């Protein structure tokens, strides 16, 4: 299975609406999702898409507990590589 990248996350974020994520880059890895315009409902939608595309399961509390893109990418990669 491939690695989940910032580009992958940015694509999902664009698909789920919210702010225009064309500028999502390494500088935004530690910016809270809330500051990027994503609330807990948007994060649940992004999480569902990740689960479907990468065949992993992310508990709801973990989905809303990931506060930054870096945390999300690291957690998803842990799941992907364990699968």
9-62: pLDDT as tens digits: 988 888 887 555 555 666 889 999 988 888 888 899 999 999 999 999 999 899
Say whether pLDDT at 68 is over 70. yes
- Give the per-residue pLDDT at 20: 53
Structural domain count of the chain: 1
DSSP track, 40-66: HHHHHHHHHHHHHHHT----HHHHHH-
Question: What is the pLDDT, as a whole number, of residue 2?
Answer: 81
* CATH number for the domain harbouring residue 41: 1.10.1200.10
What's the domain range around 78?
6-16+24-82
pLDDT score at 18: 56
* 61, part of any domain: yes
82 vs 80: CA distance, rounded Å: 5
Q: Is residue 1 part of a domain?
A: no
pLDDT at 22: 54
Asked if residue 39 belongs to a domain, the reply is yes
Q: Answer for the pair 58, 18: CB distance below 8 angstroms, yes or no.
A: no
């Amino acid at each position: 299975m491939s690695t989940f990248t910032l580009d992958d996350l940015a694509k999902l974020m664009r698909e789920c609406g919210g702010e225009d994520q064309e500028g999502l880059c390494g500088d935004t890895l530690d910016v809270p999702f809330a500051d990027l315009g994503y609330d807990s409902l948007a994060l649940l939608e992004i999480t569902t898409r990740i689960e479907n595309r990468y065949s992993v399961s992310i508990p709801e509390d973990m989905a809303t507990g990931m506060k930054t893109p870096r945390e999300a990418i690291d957690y998803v990669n842990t799941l992907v590589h364990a699968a």
